[in-house]
Amino acid sequence: MRVLITGGAGFIGSHLSERLLNEGHEVICLDNFFTGRKENIAHLLTNPMFELLRHDVIEPVLVEVDRIYNLACPASPVHYQHNPVKTIKTSVSGALNMLGLAKRVGARILQASTSEVYGNPLVHPQTEEYWGNANPIGPRSCYDEGKRCAESLMFAYHAQNAVDIKVVRIFNTYGPRMLEHDGRVVSNFIVQALKGEDITVYGDGSQTRSFCYIDDLVNGLVAMMDSEDFTGPVNLGNPNEFTVMQLAEAVLRLTGSSSKVIYKNLPQDDPLQRQPDISLAAKKLNWAPTIELDEGLVKTIEYFSSRPGLGSKAGT
C-alpha cells in the first residue's frame, strides 16, 4: 500500500516508517521539522519506496494514498507550550485536512491521540470509557483539548461521511530518537545522568507513569490500522506502573552515574497518576507490550550515549 505518515520524521513516525518499509509498503513522510529531525529518516532517503515531503499539516496537501497515520503534533510540554496556538492548529486543522484527504481518496486514517485526553485522572487505571478530568484553559490545554477535538472530528467524519477511522490513545513512550531536551521524564533523566548533572524530580517523585518502549507501540499502531470493524478509541501503553522516583533510580543504576536527585515544584496540572487499562487492545488487537522497562532503558541509554556531548561523564 501507499501510506502517508504525518510527523513521519519524528520519534514515533520514523520508527513507524521503518516498520512499514520493511513490510513492503510505500511510505510518504510528511513533516515540517518543528520537532522532527531529518537525521531520524536520513537512512531511509535512498529507499525508492520512501518519499520525504516537507510540509506543515495545517495546510492542505493533495496526495494519493491508501492509508494515513496522523501523528503530526509536538507531544512534549516544552514544545507544545512554546506556541500553544500553533499546537491547537496542528491538532485541529491538521485533523481536518487529513480527514478531508481520507474522504476524497477513500483512505483509512489513524489518529494518534494521547493519554492526556484523560487529564489528571480521577479514575485509575484509565479505561477508554473514562471522559477525563482535563483543564480546558490551563497551560497544557493547547495539547489536551486539541487532541480531544481531533478525536471528535474523527468520529464526526466517521458518522457523517463514513470515513474509515482508527483512534489510538498513546501513553508515555520512550526509546531511541527521542529529543534530548524535550522535557519528558525518560530523556531528561538519561541526559542528566550521562552528563553527571543533578537528576531533576518534580514534586516528591511519588507520581506514577507507565512507560512503553517504541517497538511495542509501533506494533500496536500497525495492529490497530490493520484491524477491521473497530474504530477505537483504544489505549496503547505499558500497564506496568512506576513512580518517577523509581525511574530515576533505574536510570542511575543502568548508567552508573553519580548524579544526585534534586526536587522542584510540580508543574501546574501535571497528572499524579497515569496507567493505561489495555484490556480492550488485548481483546480487539491481540496486543500487549513485551519489553520490560530495564531492557528498554538500556537501548535508550545506548542511543543517547552515542549522541555528541553525551556518554563521557556518567559515573564521574
289: cis peptide before it, omega within 30°?
A: no
Placement of cell 556531548 in the chain: 309
Task: Using the Cα atoms of residue 275, residue 273, residue 134 and residue 261 in order, give the sign of their dihedral.
Answer: negative
Placement of cell 513492503 in the chain: 24
Q: Report domain extents, the chain.
A: 2-173+213-236, 175-209+239-274+291-305
| DSSP H helix total and E strand total for the chain | 10, 13
Cβ atoms of residues 297 and 249 within 8 Å: no
> Exposed/middle/buried for 118, CB within 10 Å: 0-12, 13-18, 19+?
buried
Catalytic-residue membership of 143: yes
**Is the pLDDT score of 49 beyond 70?**
yes
| Mean pLDDT computed over 201-212 | 91
Say what the pLDDT of residue 75 is: 78
Q: What are the DSSP E strand ranges found in the chain?
A: 2-6, 26-31, 50-54, 67-70, 108-114, 165-170, 173-174, 199-202, 208-210, 212-213, 234-236, 241-243, 261-264
The tens digit of pLDDT for each residue in 177-192 reads 999 888 889 999 999 9
**Is the pLDDT score of 46 beyond 60?**
yes
Say what the pLDDT of residue 311 is: 61
Strands 241-243 and 208-210: antiparallel
Which candidate, 298, 287, 198, 207, places its Cα nearest to that of 251?
Answer: 298
Say what the pLDDT of residue 269 is: 64
Cβ atoms of residues 263 and 181 within 8 Å: no
**Is the pLDDT score of 315 beyond 90?**
no
Which candidate, 140, 164, 20, 21, places its Cα nearest to that of 84?
Answer: 140
Say what the pLDDT of residue 4 is: 98
Cβ atoms of residues 231 and 167 within 8 Å: yes
Which candidate, 93, 96, 97, 140, places its Cα nearest to that of 115?
Answer: 140
Q: Is 136 helix (H, G, I), strand (E, B) or coil?
A: coil
Mean pLDDT estimate for the chain? 93
Say what the pLDDT of residue 314 is: 46
Q: Which CATH fold would you assign to the domain 175-209+239-274+291-305? A: UDP-galactose 4-epimerase; domain 1 (3.90.25)
Which candidate, 80, 67, 84, places its Cα nearest to that of 226?
Answer: 67
| Mean pLDDT computed over 218-232 | 98
Domains 2-173+213-236 and 175-209+239-274+291-305 share a fold: no
- The arrangement of secondary structure in 2-173+213-236, i.e. its CATH architecture, is 3-Layer(aba) Sandwich (3.40)
What's the rounded Cα separation, in Å, for the pair 163 and 146? 20
How big is the chain by its Cα radius of gyration, in Å?
A: 19
Which candidate, 214, 180, 193, places its Cα nearest to that of 289?
Answer: 214
Residue among 118, 143, 157, 213 flagged as catalytic: 143
Percent of the chain with pLDDT over 70: 97
**What is the DSSP code (8-state) at residue 204?**
T
